[in-house]
Amino acid sequence: MLKPLAFLATFAFVGTAHAQDSMPRLDRVVGNVAWPNGIVNADDGSNRLFVVSQEGRIFVTRGPSREVFLDITDLTDMDGEQGLLGLVFAPGYAESGLFYIQYTDNTDESTVVAEYQVSDDPTRADPDSARILLRYQDPFPNHNGGDLHFGPDNYLYLAWGDGGDADDPFENGQDLTTLWGKMLRIDPDPTAGDPADCGLVGDYSIPRDNPFADGEGGNCDEIWDYGLRNPWRFSFDGGNLWIADVGQDVQEEVDFTPAGSSGGENYGWDIKEGNLCHEPDVGCDSTGLVDPVLTYNHDRRRCAITGGYVYEGTVLPMLVGEYVYADYCTGEIWAGQQLRSGRWDSRRIFDTDFNISTFGETETGQLCFADHAARGAVYCWLPGDGR
């Protein structure tokens, strides 16, 4: 792995008209975090970043200092794709102090979504404040997804993979009676909507306008979109929903749910992998499936997509309005967008030597990413004032 200074010396734009522009400033904002896989801000005016470690800790950092915000290493173990997988703060966190995490339980390997509250010390969560919203049994230890975000509608969205093993053996992606292989949409308030449906523990409610919340056919009312393999990272841009879904053998994909959608999109797994037929491998029926907007193949050791954000910062003005994402194995970073013609296009903008596990944003919209290593680090493109 390149050291930070050497990294900065070689971290250049690739194949773009802006190659002669001055080099953007890349800051190593925190280091020596074991297996970082989440970078989140609380949108509370503090300009702090919260860094998730897959082994079960959340660190809060502002400037060079960091402290342990929450430690759940007694509840979860990092084992392959398991561990502490996601963090999001509630809208209005500055007033409520509520936040939500997703992890795999080390006693039964179930997936858990839990609510916590900050303590009187703003740098410490209250470890005794946990409320389990959702618990669901995993069929296999991989393809857990794990990301979670509040949408502009203030509902909680959860990205869940197909539950694991190769080729989706239980056909979970296309099965509307299971939560696996889905984008879920719930209300953390158990009294605000219809009762929880498919969760083994269900201390939440179902928005009444969820696409399958009709009480008919045995479908899980929590489902928003389906046909996903392992949507490791997703994000919102206004009302638009961007889902980076990790492929299996051949192709990685970015799925897109436009603002104003009423949900119910079927992104095709495991009938298709990206734009390609998967089961069967030729002549598959694509009726009703929504194709990805961006794909790339497993060339040059590429292996797994890491989803990012539509860029809103100031340090990389040439990327404003473009969706930034990376490949975990090669460290390549791309930017994609829809052209005026309606066609979607992407370009490789950076080459790195990092295993990029996640992207994140500061409160001012600056872009960050994490190197997923035993002594990992978080880097951000920051303006001169470091905000």
8 A C-beta contact, residue 87 and residue 101: yes
Question: Is residue 355 within 8 Å of residue 331, measured between CB atoms?
Answer: yes
Q: What is the pLDDT of residue 14?
A: 54
Q: Are residues 92 and 108 in the same domain?
A: yes
Q: Is residue 65 part of a domain?
A: yes
**Residue in 80, 27, 90, 78 with CA at minimum distance from that of residue 52:** 78
User: Is 387 inside any structural domain?
Assistant: no
pLDDT confidence band for 340 (50 / 70 / 90) = very high
Domain-located, residue 61: yes
Task: Indicate if 345 and 369 belong to the same structural domain.
Answer: no
Question: Are residues 68 and 9 located together in one domain of the fold?
Answer: no
For the chain, the three-class secondary structure string (H helix, E strand, C coil) is: CCCHHHHHHHCCECCCCCCCCCCCCEEEEEEEECCEEEEECCCCCCCCEEEEECCCEEEEEECCEEEEEEECCCCCCCECCECEEEEEECCCHHHHCEEEEEEECCCCCCEEEEEEEECCCCCCEEEEEEEEEEEECCCCCCCCCCCEEECCCCCEEEEECCCCCCCCCCCHHHCCCCCCCEEEEEECCCCCCEECCCCCEECCEECCCCCCCCCCCCCCCCEEEECCCCCCEEEEECCEEEEEECCCCCEEEEEEECCCCCCCCECCCCCEECCEECCCCCCCCCCCCCCCCEEEECCCCCCCEECCCECCCCCCHHHCCCEEEEECCCCCEEEEEECCCCCEEEEEEECCCCCEEEEEECCCCCEEEEECCCCEEEEEECCCCCC
- Cα gap 242→157, rounded to integer Å: 12
What is the number of structural domains in the chain?
2
Which residue bears the tokens 């949900």? 263
Does residue 90 fall inside a structural domain?
yes
Res. 356: pLDDT tops 70 = yes
Average pLDDT for 276-303? 97
Find the domain containing 312 and state its range. Answer: 1-29+298-359
Same domain, 173 and 278: yes
pLDDT in tens, 8-17: 333 545 544 3
The pair of three-digit structure tokens given for residue 329, joined into one six-digit string:
């194995």
Q: Is the pLDDT of residue 21 over 70?
A: no
Structural domain contains residue 369: yes
Per-residue pLDDT band at 288 (split at 50, 70, 90): very high
Average pLDDT rounded to a whole number, residues 246-252: 97
In a domain, 238, yes or no: yes
| 164 and 309 inside one domain | no
352 and 366 housed in the same domain: no
pLDDT at 360 over 50: yes
Question: Where residue 20 falls among pLDDT bands split at 50, 70, 90?
Answer: very low
Question: pLDDT at residue 5 above 80?
Answer: no
pLDDT band at 200 (very low <50, low <70, confident <90, very high): confident
DSSP string, 37-51: EEEE---SSS--EEE
In a domain, 386, yes or no: no
Confidence of residue 19 (pLDDT cuts 50, 70, 90): very low
Report pLDDT digits (tens) over 63-109: 777 899 999 999 999 999 999 999 999 999 999 999 999 999 999 99
- Asked if residue 365 and residue 355 are part of one domain, the reply reads no
Phi, psi of 172 (to 5 degrees): -65, -35
* Predicted confidence (pLDDT) per residue in 137-164, tens digit: 999 999 999 999 999 999 999 999 999 9
Res. 265: pLDDT tops 60: yes
What percentage of the chain exceeds 90 in pLDDT? 89
Q: Flag whether 13 is in a domain.
A: yes
Q: Give the number of other CB atoms < 10 A from CB of residue 195.
A: 11
> 185 and 88 in one domain?
yes
3-state SS of the chain: helix, strand, coil percent to 5? 5, 40, 55
Q: Which percentage of the chain shows pLDDT scores above 70?
A: 93
Same domain, residue pair 39 and 78: yes
Say yes or no: 85 and 214 in one domain: yes
Give the integer Cα–Cα distance in Å for 342 and 72.
Answer: 46
What pLDDT, on the 0 to 100 scale, is given for residue 64? 72
Residue 103 and residue 120 in one domain: yes
Whole-number Å distance between alpha carbons of 128 and 161: 29
Task: Mark whether 58 and 46 lie in a shared domain.
Answer: yes
